[in-house]
Chains A and B, each alone.
Chain A
């Protein structure tokens, strides 16, 4: 067993707003090892992006603040690391791909100059060498006309092309961990297939650990080995993708898996979970899923369940000893 490259323990990130305190991430545990692809799934607002921003040290602060827990990178506690240390880590060790690539590419600089900068943070080389490497990277991610593209601006590219530039950018620094926050949500399926294929190659060739954050159960099934299911700021289930899909334990995970249509066969009627996702902090005690749960017991409204189990963990009173 190798040690995890990234280990997040009991992370709590709150926002302190005029309307009060928002527990966006309320005690999250997960880890990823070298060469592994981990999926984090959850619906809108469950805290996926806040988790990744916390890890990257990119949380808007104020109002956001890590109030508890630890983020360990190769054993080093980076939870409250200095901005200069975080910049080093972002340039060399942990890279991130965002949902909307336009917001993460600078519109006033060419693709090339942004790539060259990323390359030169990582290794000492001349501008000319860096430019050659930039073109190589653009070719590597399957972009056509790479030698012209280096001199173009982000707005001249399509969404899929920009996302490939972001991946090239991430590869420029040879990261140990790549966090991809909904990398393909804004893209068409044929382009999504290209990008996912590229991420798989990167993972196989360089052993980069990848964390894919998504709400798409199909993407997880096709890409990841392990999975973390989030609901309302908490991890409700964790295990291998096969264990969770073949034998989901948490009533939320069960409902979620049953409610998505499968292209291969038509179900007469889809399963549906009643109600909708709660606002963070609106359910003050007991299990966050209790109001929507079809197995709810009286204890669920009072007592907060803990994440229990060995390889396949679940946060639900149905499984208490």
Chain B
């Protein structure tokens, strides 16, 4: 076991719901409601779960793009929630993000060179000449050409724009990359190019990833371990091979069985869940999955299951175990 680069403990984000004439707080959206995990150096932790379960909010809290309501984030041994501004700035350089939408995340008025240089300027890295040289290097690293530096984002395809976003994230030599749905907006034939690139970069630079996606096949491919989220909580976490081959939590079982496998010779038994994902502003009592769970028992309605270790490293939050 290596050392963990990142440790997250009981992280929460409750967004206030404001309303009425006076803008009073009427309630809270429990977007993230007590999430704990650790990521080792050089490892990829995948985060899956359905829309609105809190994946992006979790990722954004690591960069402090969203302030946590509670909990601790320890990065490289330092408690990020307790740092002074200047120290935080230093740490921010070490954590970078790749966004889902390669169209919206690049400033259309800046050249690609400027976009990639920007984080180096912000963090005051190198002189102008060095920065320009690094931009050219980075473009080559992500499979573009140095002459692309003079062009604008709209002159590139979706896959190429995602490469630009990756080059920008790499510019300040980060240790951890939060990749939030990095390939979901891309064409199928371009997805694998970008996934291969991320894999190469990880090997080359020893990068650590938090890899967020709703596509379970993509997450399996890219992650060493996987956490499954439901309504702001992690319900299961484990090594990806074991978790995919033998899911323990009824939600993980249903989720995996619902994925259409691209092989007509294979028909899996689908567990069709009834109903929709409940709203995080008004989650069900007890185990928040109980109202859709095919195995729900009486006490699931009242008692919140804790995330417990089942066997080597497999964590599950379910009363069945």
Interface residues in chain A, defined as those with a beta carbon under 8 Å from any beta carbon in chain B: 43-44, 142, 144, 158, 160-161, 188-194, 196-197, 215-223, 241-242, 245-246, 255-257, 259-264, 266-267, 269-274, 276-277
Contacts and interface: CB of A to CB of B under 8 A. Distances in A.
A10 B218 CA distance: 37
Contacts of B272: 190, 193-194, 197
30 contacts: A158-B276, A160-B276, A161-B276, A189-B214, A189-B216, A193-B257, A193-B272, A197-B272, A216-B260, A218-B261, A218-B262, A221-B266, A222-B260, A222-B261, A242-B265, A246-B265, A257-B262, A259-B189, A259-B192, A260-B188, A261-B217, A263-B259, A263-B261, A264-B266, A269-B199, A270-B195, A270-B196, A270-B221, A273-B189, A277-B190
Contacts of B51: 188
Contacts of A242: 264-265
B150 interface: no
B159 A217 contact: no
B262 A221 contact: yes
Contacts of B274: 142, 194
B157 interface: yes
A272 B221 CA distance: 14
Main secondary structure of the interface of B (DSSP, over half): helix
Given A218-B260, A221-B263, 9 more contacts: A188-B277, A190-B254, A190-B258, A219-B260, A222-B267, A242-B264, A245-B263, A259-B188, A276-B187
Interface residues of B, number: 46
Contacts of B221: 261, 266-267, 270
Nearest to A244: B264
A262 B258 contact: no
A217 B191 CA distance: 14
Contact of B273 (A161, A194, A260): A194
A278 B53 CA distance: 36
B259 A272 contact: no
B158 interface: yes
B89 interface: no
A217 B262 contact: yes
B260 A221 contact: yes
Nearest to B263: A221
A278 to B, nearest CB: 10
A276 B276 contact: no
Contacts of B188: 43, 215, 217, 256, 259-260
B191 A259 contact: yes
B187 to A, nearest CB: 4
Contacts of B50: 188-191
A256 B189 contact: yes
B262 A245 contact: yes
Given A43-B187, A161-B276, A272 B258 contact: no
Nearest to B221: A261
Contacts of B259: 189, 218, 263
B189 A255 contact: yes
B261 to A, nearest CB: 6
B265 A276 contact: no
B31 interface: no
Nearest to B189: A273
A215 B262 CA distance: 11
B187 A191 contact: no
B37 interface: no
B220 interface: yes
Contacts of A256: 188-189
B244 interface: yes
B23 interface: no
Q: Shortest 10 CB-CB distances between A and B: which pairs? A: A218-B260, A261-B221, A193-B258, A270-B192, A188-B50, A259-B192, A217-B262, A272-B192, A43-B187, A263-B217
Contact of A245 (B187, B190, B264): B264
A180 to B, nearest CB: 14
B110 interface: no
Contacts of A277: 157, 187, 189-190
A208 to B, nearest CB: 20
A274 B190 CA distance: 8
A144 B292 CA distance: 13
